[in-house]
């Protein structure tokens, strides 16, 4: 699970291309974007990455080695049968899609066997969801606030829960690979 906001395009453009095709887990991404955005983000990241990057579809069955991006103006949730749901429910933390909504649904769907990654961003979205993931036995990684374009989201997550790793963006892909072996 990856959550990001301000500065996220640059962070994701550095993180996703470093993930290998042999990745055995799916990646889910919420990037705060305007409700009317085209799918430039998805196309751009897919063109840079070795793994498949796609916009999440309603009721889609998740596959390992694929990165699913929440579409503009939709919350992305993971169901217990490991399919995806898109909703137009109210904004959470002024955002739709919301990182907290994704993280909280993943915590329950995967029974805490989740790695939450909180990157650069300008609000507190993701902090509560990361705390739930940690409480349920998952792992929380935050981008080192000193290296984040906007440090508010990583800092908020660090205040909300005991994070497992505080690392630079370059250290995240090998850490994900190590933790998912």
> Which range marks the domain in which residue 51 is found?
2-179
CA proximity to 10, closest of 143, 155, 130: 143
Catalytic (active-site) positions: 5, 32, 125
Residues 10-40 have pLDDT tens digits of: 999 999 999 999 999 999 999 998 888 887 8
Number of domains composing the chain: 1
Give dist(CA 179, CA 181) in Å, integer.
Answer: 6
Given this model, what pLDDT does residue 112 score? 80
> What's the predicted TM-score (pTM) here?
0.96
Given this model, what pLDDT does residue 141 score? 98
Q: CB–CB of 60/86 below 8 Å?
A: no
Given this model, what pLDDT does residue 27 score? 97
Tokens encoding 16: 């996703």
Given this model, what pLDDT does residue 181 score? 87
Per-residue pLDDT of the chain (181 residues; tens, 9 = 90+): 999 999 999 999 999 999 999 999 999 999 998 888 887 899 999 999 999 999 999 999 999 999 999 999 999 999 999 999 999 999 998 899 999 999 999 999 998 899 999 999 999 999 999 999 999 999 999 999 999 999 999 999 999 999 999 999 999 999 999 999 8
CA proximity to 28, closest of 57, 70, 75, 59: 70
Residues 32-45 have pLDDT tens digits of: 988 888 878 999 99
Residues 6+ apart with CB under 8 A from 79: 85, 105, 109
Given this model, what pLDDT does residue 34 score? 84
Q: What is the CATH number of the domain that holds 60?
A: 3.40.50.180
Given this model, what pLDDT does residue 24 score? 92
Residue 158 backbone zone (phi > 0: left; psi -120 to 50: alpha; other: beta): alpha
User: For 72-110, b where at least 16 C-beta lie within 10 A, e where not — what string?
Assistant: bebbbbbeeeeebebeeeeebbebbbbbbbbbbbbbbbb
Q: Is the peptide bond before 141 cis (omega within 30 degrees of 0)?
A: no
Distances from the Cα of 20 to the Cαs of 44, 55, 90, 166, 174, in angstroms?
17, 19, 36, 22, 9
């Amino acid at each position: 699970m990856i959550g990001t906001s301000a500065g996220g395009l640059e962070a994701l453009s550095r993180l996703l291309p470093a993930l290998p095709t042999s990745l055995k887990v799916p990646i889910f991404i919420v990037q705060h974007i305007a409700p009317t955005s085209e799918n430039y983000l998805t196309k751009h990241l897919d063109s840079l990455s070795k793994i498949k990057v796609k916009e999440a579809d309603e009721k889609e069955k998740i596959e390992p080695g694929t990165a699913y991006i929440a579409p503009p103006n939709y919350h992305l949730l993971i169901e217990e049968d490991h399919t995806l749901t898109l909703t137009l429910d109210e904004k959470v933390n002024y955002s739709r899609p919301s990182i907290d909504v994704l993280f909280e649904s993943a915590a329950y769907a995967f029974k805490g066997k989740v790695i939450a990654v909180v990157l650069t961003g300008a609000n507190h979205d993701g902090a509560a969801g990361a705390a739930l993931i940690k409480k349920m036995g998952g792992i929380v990684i935050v981008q080192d606030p000193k290296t984040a374009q906007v440090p508010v989201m990583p800092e908020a997550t660090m205040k909300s829960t005991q994070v497992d790793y505080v690392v630079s963006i370059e250290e995240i892909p090998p850490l994900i690979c190590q933790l998912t072996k």
